[in-house]
C-alpha cells in the first residue's frame, strides 16, 4: 500500500459550467476538483490550503468510513473546525475498501457552490477485481444554479423562506448546456442548437469506446437537490456495485440515482460501430424544469461530432415511483467476506419521523420534532473533552408520537431547534427507521436520500405508510440486504437500516439534499468517543475546544 500525497488549494474560479460564466468553488484551478485515484489499503494525505478570501472550508470524503480517523471526516462543527482563509489542514486517512466514491464541501452550502470531485478506489495491489471489464469511465453528476450559493443560503433561511427552485442545468463531470441544446435537431421546439468546437468548459463529456468490449461506468451523484435517472441509448447496463459494495448483478435500461449514491454498471459496446450514442441524465421525483444532461458514447468508426441518429433516451415519468421502487428493491448484497450478513437482531431501534415545520415563521425540517442546528464547537472534541456547554445535553427522542398521522399536514406545525446527540453504545447493533410524512402542503411528501457518515448500513426493507414494529420487523431482509451508505425514503413511506457501532467517532446522519440539511434535516450519532485517539489540535482550534487548547498552552 502507498501513501498518496496531494497538495490542494480551494479557491473561487470564474468558470462556465453550462455556458453561462459563473463563480465556482474549484481546486487547483480545476472544476470539478481533481479525481483522486487510489488502491484499497492506500493512505491519502491531502494538504488542503484554504484560498477562499473570507470564508472557512472543509472537505468530506463521502463513503470513506474513516476507521480510526474520525477527525478526517471533513464535517464542519462535527469532526473539525472549519479551516480559516489562508490556513492549511492535513487530511490523512486510509481508503480501506475498493469502490466508487466522491468528495465534497461540508460547510454551509459549499457543495452547491461546486466544491466536489471523484474518489475512485481500485482493488488492492495484487488482488483480483471480481468484475471484469476492458476499460472504465467515471461520471460525477451534479446540479447547477445560476444564483450563488450564499444567496441561496440567505433565501432558505429567510422569513418567509424563499425556495431555491429547480436547478438551471444538470452537469456531467461539471459540464452542461444552458443556452443551447445538443439535442435540438430531434425536437420540434425552438431550442437553439449548440455550436461547439469541443474545447469549451461546457462541451459535453465524450466516452471513447472500442466495439465489442465491456466497460465499467462509475456513476456518483453529488447533486444539491435533484434525484436523477441515467440511460445510455441502445445499450443495456448491468448494475454491479452500489456505494462501494458489490451487489447481485441485474440488467437495466436506465438507473435511478439519488444524491449521495454511487453505482458501477457494466455495458458492452455491441451496437452499430458507425454510430455514436447518447448518455442522458434526467430529473426524477420532482416536476422536471431542467433539461437533461447529455454526454456522448463515441465509437471509432464515426466522427466525434456526428450526432446519434435518434433522440436521447427518455427517463420514466418523473412521478412514476413504482419504477423507482422496483429498481431500488432489485439491489441485493453480494454476500461474501466484504459483504457480511447483518446481525439477526438489534440492540436498539430508533425511529426518525421527518416533518416540515415552521419555527417562529421560519421553514425548517425536523426529525422527531427537533430541527438540527450545528454548534460552534465540533462535537468530536466537545464529547471527548467533556465540554458540556458546547451543545444540548438532552439527547433527542428515539421515537415520535405514534398517533401522528403521516398522511396529512401536521396539526401542530411548530417544532424546536436542537443540537443534541444520539449516544450509541459502542459495539452494538442499531436499527434506524426513516419515517416519511406529509410536508407542510397537503398531498406533498418528498424524496429524501439519507447518508450516514463513518459506516455502511444494511438496507433491511422499504414500506408504505407508517412503519409497524410488530409486523414490519418480521419482514426484514436479513439474508442478502445491500450494504450502502445512502438510502432513499420514498414519499409517505419508510426505510429500515441496520448498522454496527464499531467506529469510534461522531457521525452525521442526514438528508443529502443540501437545502434540506441546511434547514435542519439531520441528526448526530456519537459512539465510543472515549476510544478515539489523539485528535490533531488544528482540527479543534475553535469554540470551546479552542479555548481549552489555549488555556492548556498557557499552563505549559
| Out of 99, 174, 260, 308, the residue judged to bind ligand C2O by CB under 6 A | 260
Contact 512, 531 (CB under 8 A): no
- Cβ atoms within 10 A of the Cβ of 375, count? 17
Please tell me whether residue 403 adopts helix, strand or coil conformation. coil
Nearest of 441, 442, 462 to residue 450 by alpha carbon: 462
Q: Which does 448 bind (CB under 5 to 8 A by kind): Cu ion, ligand C2O, none?
A: Cu ion
Residues 532 and 80: their CA atoms lie apart, in Å, by 14
| Out of 508, 511, 539, 542, the residue judged to bind ligand C2O by CB under 6 A | 508
Q: Which does 106 bind (CB under 5 to 8 A by kind): ligand C2O, Cu ion, none?
A: ligand C2O
Least distance from ligand C2O to the Cβ atom of residue 534, Å: 24
Grid cell of 399 as nine digits: 421515537
Please tell me whether residue 537 adopts helix, strand or coil conformation. helix
- Distance linking the first and last C-alpha atoms of the chain: 39
Going by DSSP bridges, is the β-strand pair 237-242/245-252 parallel, antiparallel, or unpaired? antiparallel
Burial grade of 437 (CB within 10 A; 0-12, 13-18, 19 or more): buried
518: contact with ligand C2O by CB under 6 A: no
Q: Which runs of consecutive H residues, i.e. helices, occur in 315-367?
A: 321-330
Q: Which does 65 bind (CB under 5 to 8 A by kind): ligand C2O, Cu ion, none?
A: none
Binding pattern for the stretch 181-220 against ligand C2O, x by CB under 6 A and - elsewhere:
----------------------------------------
Indicate the residue among 260 and 313 with the shorter CB distance to ligand C2O.
260
Binding pattern for the stretch 444-473 against Cu ion, x by CB under 5 A and - elsewhere:
----x-------------------------
Least distance from Cu ion to the Cβ atom of residue 516, Å: 3
Size of the site for Cu ion (CB under 5 A): 4
CA of 96: how far to CAs of 43, 150, 314, 451, 552, in Å? 9, 35, 38, 19, 35
Indicate the residue among 477 and 495 with the shorter CB distance to ligand C2O.
495
- Could you tell me how many residues make up the chain? 556
Place of cell 468517543: 529
Q: Which does 513 bind (CB under 5 to 8 A by kind): ligand C2O, Cu ion, none?
A: Cu ion
Least distance from Cu ion to the Cβ atom of residue 155, Å: 17
CA of 139: how far to CAs of 35, 74, 542, in Å? 11, 23, 36
Least distance from ligand C2O to the Cβ atom of residue 203, Å: 28
62: contact with ligand C2O by CB under 6 A: yes
Q: Which does 453 bind (CB under 5 to 8 A by kind): ligand C2O, Cu ion, none?
A: ligand C2O
Binding pattern for the stretch 512-551 against Cu ion, x by CB under 5 A and - elsewhere:
-x--x-----------------------------------
Contact 197, 36 (CB under 8 A): no
Contact 25, 15 (CB under 8 A): no
Q: Which does 466 bind (CB under 5 to 8 A by kind): Cu ion, ligand C2O, none?
A: none
The piece of 117-125, 168-176, 362-370, 506-514 that touches ligand C2O (CB under 6 A) is 506-514
In what order do the strands lie in the sheet containing 448-452? 422-424, 522-527, 505-511, 448-452, 486-489
* 144 strand-pairing partners: 169
Residues 244 and 264: their CA atoms lie apart, in Å, by 9
Indicate the residue among 350 and 511 with the shorter CB distance to Cu ion.
511
The piece of 155-163, 188-196, 318-326, 441-449 that touches Cu ion (CB under 5 A) is 441-449
- Cβ atoms within 10 A of the Cβ of 155, count? 15
Indicate the residue among 297 and 374 with the shorter CB distance to ligand C2O.
374
Indicate the residue among 492 and 509 with the shorter CB distance to ligand C2O.
509
Least distance from ligand C2O to the Cβ atom of residue 399, Å: 24
Rg (CA), the chain: 23
Indicate the residue among 79 and 346 with the shorter CB distance to ligand C2O.
79
Q: Which does 175 bind (CB under 5 to 8 A by kind): Cu ion, ligand C2O, none?
A: none
Binding pattern for the stretch 477-516 against Cu ion, x by CB under 5 A and - elsewhere:
----------------------------------x-x--x
Q: Which does 62 bind (CB under 5 to 8 A by kind): Cu ion, ligand C2O, none?
A: ligand C2O
Query: Helix count (H) and strand count (E) of the chain?
Result: 5, 32
Q: Which does 298 bind (CB under 5 to 8 A by kind): Cu ion, ligand C2O, none?
A: none
Least distance from ligand C2O to the Cβ atom of residue 253, Å: 28
Q: Which does 104 bind (CB under 5 to 8 A by kind): ligand C2O, Cu ion, none?
A: ligand C2O
Burial grade of 323 (CB within 10 A; 0-12, 13-18, 19 or more): middle
Grid cell of 268 as nine digits: 458492452
Q: Which does 498 bind (CB under 5 to 8 A by kind): ligand C2O, Cu ion, none?
A: none
Q: Which does 516 bind (CB under 5 to 8 A by kind): Cu ion, ligand C2O, none?
A: Cu ion
| Out of 60, 216, 275, 466, the residue judged to bind ligand C2O by CB under 6 A | 60
**DSSP string covering 514-535:** HHHHHTT-EEEEEE-GGG--PP
Grid cell of 86 as nine digits: 489562508
- Cβ atoms within 10 A of the Cβ of 322, count? 10
Grid cell of 535 as nine digits: 485528535
Place of cell 415545520: 357
Binding site for Cu ion (CB under 5 A): 448, 511, 513, 516
Binding site for ligand C2O (CB under 6 A): 60, 62, 104, 106, 260, 451, 453, 508, 510, 512
Amino acid at each position: 500500500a502507498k501513501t498518496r500525497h496531494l497538495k490542494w488549494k480551494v479557491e473561487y474560479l470564474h468558470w462556465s459550467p453550462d455556458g453561462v460564466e459563473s463563480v465556482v468553488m474549484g481546486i487547483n484551478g480545476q472544476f470539478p476538483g481533481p479525481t483522486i485515484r487510489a488502491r484499497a489499503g492506500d493512505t491519502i494525505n491531502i494538504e488542503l490550503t484554504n484560498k477562499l478570501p473570507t470564508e472557512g472550508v472543509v472537505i468530506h470524503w463521502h463513503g470513506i468510513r474513516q476507521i480510526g480517523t474520525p477527525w478526517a471526516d471533513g464535517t464542519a462543527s462535527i469532526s473539525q473546525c472549519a479551516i480559516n482563509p489562508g490556513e492549511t489542514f492535513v487530511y490523512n486517512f486510509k481508503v480501506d475498501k475498493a469502490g466508487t466514491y466522491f468528495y465534497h464541501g461540508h460547510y454551509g452550502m459549499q457543495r452547491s457552490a461546486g466544491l466536489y470531485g471523484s474518489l475512485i478506489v481500485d482493488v488492492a495491489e495484487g488482488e483480483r477485481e471480481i468484475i471484469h471489464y476492458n476499460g472504465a469511465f467515471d461520471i460525477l453528476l451534479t446540479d447547477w444554479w445560476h444564483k450563488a450559493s450564499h444567496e441561496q443560503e440567505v433565501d432558505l433561511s429567510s422569513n418567509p423562506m424563499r425556495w431555491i427552485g429547480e436547478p438551471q442545468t444538470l452537469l456531467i463531470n461539471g459540464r452542461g448546456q444552458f443556452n443551447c441544446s445538443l439535442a435540438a435537431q430531434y425536437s420540434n421546439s425552438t431550442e437553439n442548437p449548440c455550436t461547439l468546437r469541443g474545447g469549451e468548459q461546457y462541451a459535453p463529456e465524450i466516452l471513447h469506446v472500442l466495439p465489442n468490449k465491456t466497460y465499467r461506468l462509475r456513476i456518483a451523484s453529488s447533486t444539491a437537490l435533484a434525484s436523477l435517472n441515467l440511460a445510455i441509448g441502445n445499450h443495456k447496463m448491468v448494475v454491479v456495485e452500489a456505494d462501494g459494495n458489490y451487489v447481485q448483478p441485474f440488467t437495466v435500461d436506465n438507473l435511478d440515482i439519488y444524491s449521495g449514491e454511487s453505482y458501477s454498471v457494466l455495458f458492452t459496446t455491441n451496437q452499430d460501430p458507425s454510430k455514436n450514442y447518447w448518455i442522458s441524465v434526467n430529473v426524477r421525483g420532482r416536476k422536471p424544469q431542467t433539461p437533461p444532461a447529455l454526454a456522448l458514447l463515441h465509437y471509432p468508426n464515426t466522427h466525434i461530432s456526428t450526432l446519434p441518429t435518434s433522440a436521447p433516451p427518455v427517463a420514466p415519468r418523473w412521478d412514476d415511483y413504482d419504477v423507482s421502487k422496483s429498481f431500488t428493491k432489485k439491489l441485493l448484497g453480494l454476500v461474501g467476506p466484504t459483504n457480511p450478513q447483518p446481525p439477526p437482531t438489534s440492540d436498539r431501534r430508533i425511529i426518525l419521523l421527518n416533518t416540515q415545520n415552521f419555527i417562529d415563521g421560519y421553514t425548517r425540517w425536523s426529525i422527531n420534532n427537533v430541527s438540527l442546528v450545528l454548534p460552534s464547537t465540533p462535537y468530536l472534541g466537545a464529547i471527548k473533552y467533556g465540554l458540556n456547554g458546547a451543545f444540548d445535553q438532552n439527547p433527542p427522542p428515539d421515537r415520535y408520537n405514534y398517533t401522528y398521522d403521516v398522511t396529512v399536514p401536521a396539526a401542530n406545525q411548530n417544532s424546536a431547534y436542537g443540537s443534541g446527540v444520539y449516544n450509541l453504545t459502542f459495539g452494538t447493533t442499531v436499527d434506524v427507521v426513516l419515517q416519511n410524512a406529509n410536508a407542510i402542503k397537503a398531498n406533498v411528501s418528498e424524496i429524501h436520500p439519507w447518508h450516514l457518515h463513518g459506516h455502511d448500513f444494511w438496507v433491511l426493507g422499504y414500506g408504505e405508510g407508517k412503519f409497524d414494529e410488530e409486523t414490519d420487523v418480521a419482514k426484514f431482509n436479513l439474508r442478502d440486504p445491500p450494504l450502502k451508505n445512502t438510502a432513499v425514503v420514498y414519499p409517505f413511506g419508510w426505510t429500515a437500516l441496520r448498522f454496527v457501532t464499531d467506529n469510534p467517532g461522531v457521525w452525521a446522519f442526514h438528508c443529502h439534499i443540501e437545502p434540506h440539511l441546511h434547514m435542519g434535516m439531520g441528526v448526530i450519532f456519537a459512539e465510543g468517543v472515549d476510544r478515539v485517539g489523539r485528535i490533531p489540535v488544528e482540527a479543534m482550534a475553535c469554540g470551546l475546544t479552542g479555548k481549552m487548547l489555549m488555556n492548556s498552552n498557557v499552563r505549559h
